């Protein structure tokens, strides 16, 4: 090979990097806009959002962003991508459309009380609020695994389909433990419907209303096991209004999003088992998670098709507070990951072992997934 110039001067470096930056801005204006939108509320977002928006608007006539989205859908069509939403779009549309999240369905906050006969979920656009109920943290008081209600058994030769839904609280520790234990229960089948780094606070970042149906594909779960909310301890913007975490507006909107998520999970007669978030190591973060738990509990406990499973009494200490270690079969073991947030496999085992045994109860014919009647409702949680 001929000798070549290995080294460049500073001015050449400046020219190369400058050209890179310009070309990258041109090509990635859509990506930068998406990125800025995803940032947590704060200084970074305040600075980035106007710049990214202006850039995105200025370059929109070049249709680079449209080409980028078309390419993503084409990649899904040829099987490269495993992004369920892009895949669903590739399968259903010849002409890809903009992947903008639809408005979150406003749902009622006057939800029917548990164990009532109401079947259809009322969806009324209202901004009224319900009282956010405290989550009992004491294990003897919490609706944890010790108070699981009776559910219809699985008919012989049939399987029960369970969707595993949520964010990294499901993805880390929990889902792998469940799937490992699944080999013990041949009458249970599982659908993956979880994704790390998601949540309910920021539908513009990850829109569960779009993604969840795509994750299910053709599956019709009988039960949905959900653990979600670890990323939701942050403020958000809706309709141009900023809602700091914990403000009244934040609570109202977040509750609406939890309700919409729950409504979606319950579609087609699925019963939702909502795992409360465990206590967290950091006090500041734990306080945020406690508020999220309270809102979740308010929504879930009001639904006739959902069961709240408090986890603080299982993986927390006697007072429901965070603990790193616990005993399983007489051996001290780590219940939490080193981040102080997620469950370890052993920690998850404390929850999943009994849950799966309960879900796998067999022999009574499986009820038809039709509109729930009063008679059936009495056996529902």
Partner 1 sequence: MLFPTVEYAVFFLAVLAISWALAPRRIAHKSFLLAASYLFYGFWNWRYVPLLFLISLFAGLIGQALQRTDDGVTRKRLLIAGVTVCLLVLAYYKYTSFLLLSALGLWGFVGHTPGWNISTPFLPLGISFFVFHAISLMGDIYRRKLREPLHLLDALLYVAFFPQLIAGPILRASNFVPQLLRQRSLQHIRVNRAFLLILAGLFKKVILSNTLSTRLVEPVFSAPANFHSVDVLLAIYGYAAQIYCDFSGYTDIAIGCAMLLGYRFPRNFNAPYTATDPQEFWQRWHISLSSWLRDYLYIPLGGSRRGVSRTYINLMITMLLGGLWHGASWTFVMWGGLQGLYLVIHRLWVAAPSPAVQRLRSSTAWPWVARLLMFHAVCLGWVFFRAPTFGLAATVLHQLGSHGAVTLAAWPVVLCLVLGLFGQYAPPVWRRSVEATMSRMPVAVNGVALALGVFAIELLGPTGVAPFIYFQF
Instruction: Identify which of residues 15 and 113 has a Cβ nearer to partner 1 in the complex.
Output: 15
Q: Residue 37: which residues within 8 A CB-CB, separation 6 or more?
A: 49, 52, 204, 205
Cβ(160)–Cβ(361) below 8 Å: no
Interface with partner 1 (CB under 8 A), residue total: 63
Q: Which stretch binds partner 1 (CB under 8 A): 53-61, 105-113, 151-159, 173-181?
A: 173-181
Site for partner 1 in 21-40 (CB under 8 A): 21-24, 26-28, 31-32, 35
Burial track 273-312 (b if 16+ CB lie within 10 A, e otherwise): bbbbbbbbbeeebbebbbbbbbbbbbbbbbbbbbbbbbbb
Distance CA 199, CA 174 (A): 16
Residues 64/71, Cβ–Cβ less than 8 Å: no
Question: Based on CB atoms, which residue is closest to partner 1, 332 or 374?
Answer: 332
Distances in whole angstroms, Cα of residue 212 to Cα of each of 156, 191, 351: 29, 11, 24
Q: Whose Cβ is closer to partner 1: residue 105's or residue 214's?
A: 214
The answer to whether residue 289 forms part of the interface with partner 1 (CB under 8 A) is no
State which residue, 112 or 340, has the beta carbon closest to partner 1. Answer: 340
The one among 133, 176, 234, 242 contacting partner 1 by CB under 8 A: 176
Q: Which is nearer to partner 1, 132 or 170 (CB)?
A: 170
CA 117 from centre of chain: 28
CB of 79 or CB of 102, closer to partner 1:
79
Cα–Cα distance measured from residue 281 to residue 284, given in angstroms and rounded to the nearest whole number = 9
Please give the Cα distance from 121 to 83 (Å, whole number): 30
Query: Rounded to whole angstroms, how far apart are CA atoms 376 and 381?
Result: 10
One of 149, 197, 244, 365 touching partner 1 (CB under 8 A)? 197
* One of 105, 317, 353, 367 touching partner 1 (CB under 8 A): 317
**If phi over 0 gives left and psi between -120 and 50 gives alpha, with beta otherwise, what is residue 151?**
beta
Give the Cα separation of 113 and 317 in Å (integer).
31
Q: Based on the shown chain and the rule CB under 8 A, indicate whether residue 15 belongs to the binding site for partner 1.
A: yes
Binds partner 1 by CB under 8 A, chosen from 81, 126, 159, 209: 81
Cα 182 to chain centroid distance, Å, stands at 22
Closest contact distance (angstroms) between CB of 200 and partner 1 is 17
At residue 52, the 3 state secondary structure works out as helix
Report 320-349 residues binding partner 1 (CB under 8 A): 322-325, 327, 330-334, 338-340, 345
Identity of the residue, 73 or 372, whose beta carbon is nearer to partner 1 in the bound complex:
73
**Which one among 93, 180, 186, 220 touches partner 1, defined by CB under 8 A?**
180
Give the separation between CA 292 and CA 258, rounded to whole angstroms. 10
| Contact flags string 211-240 toward partner 1, x per CB under 8 A | ------------------------------
* Smallest separation (angstroms) from partner 1 to the CB of 35: 5
Residue 346 C-alpha from the chain's centroid: 22
CB of 144 to partner 1, least distance (A): 19
Residues of this chain that bind partner 1 (CB under 8 A): 1-2, 4-10, 12-24, 26-28, 31-32, 35, 44, 68, 71-72, 75, 79-83, 175-176, 179-180, 182-183, 195-197, 281, 317, 322-325, 327, 330-334, 338-340, 345
């Amino acid at each position: 090979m001929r000798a070549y110039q290995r080294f460049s001067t500073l001015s050449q470096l400046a020219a190369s990097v400058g050209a890179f930056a310009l070309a990258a801005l041109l090509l990635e204006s859509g990506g930068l806009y998406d990125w800025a939108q995803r940032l947590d509320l704060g200084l970074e977002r305040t600075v980035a959002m106007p710049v990214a928006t202006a850039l995105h608007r200025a370059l929109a006539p070049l249709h680079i962003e449209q080409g980028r989205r078309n390419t993503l859908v084409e990649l899904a069509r040829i099987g490269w991508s495993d992004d369920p939403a892009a895949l669903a779009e590739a399968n259903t549309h010849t002409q890809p459309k903009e992947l903008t999240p639809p408005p979150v369905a406003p749902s009622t906050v006057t939800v029917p009380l548990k164990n009532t006969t109401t079947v259809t979920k009322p969806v009324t656009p209202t901004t009224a609020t319900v009282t956010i109920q405290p989550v009992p943290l004491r294990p003897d008081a919490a609706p944890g695994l010790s108070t699981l209600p009776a559910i219809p058994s699985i008919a012989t030769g049939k399987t029960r389909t369970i969707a595993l839904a949520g964010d990294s609280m499901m993805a880390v520790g929990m889902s792998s433990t469940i799937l490992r234990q699944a080999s013990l229960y041949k009458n249970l089948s599982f659908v993956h419907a979880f994704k790390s780094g998601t949540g309910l606070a920021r539908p513009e970042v990850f829109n569960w209303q779009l993604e969840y149906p795509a994750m299910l594909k053709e599956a019709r779960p009988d039960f949905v096991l959900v653990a979600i909310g670890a990323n939701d301890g942050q403020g958000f913007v809706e309709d141009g209004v900023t809602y700091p975490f914990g403000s009244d507006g934040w609570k109202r909107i977040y509750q609406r999003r939890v309700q919409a998520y729950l409504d979606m999970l319950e579609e087609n007669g699925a019963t939702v088992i909502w795992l409360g978030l465990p206590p967290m190591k950091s006090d500041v973060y734990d306080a945020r998670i406690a508020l999220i738990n309270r809102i979740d509990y308010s929504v879930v406990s009001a639904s006739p098709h959902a069961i709240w499973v408090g986890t603080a009494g299982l993986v927390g200490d006697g007072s429901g507070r965070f603990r790193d270690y616990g005993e399983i079969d007489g051996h001290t073991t780590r219940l939490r990951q080193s981040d102080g947030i997620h469950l370890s496999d052993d920690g998850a085992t404390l929850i999943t072992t009994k849950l799966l045994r309960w879900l796998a109860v067999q022999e009574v014919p499986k009820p038809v997934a039709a509109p729930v009647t009063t008679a059936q409702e009495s056996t529902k949680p």
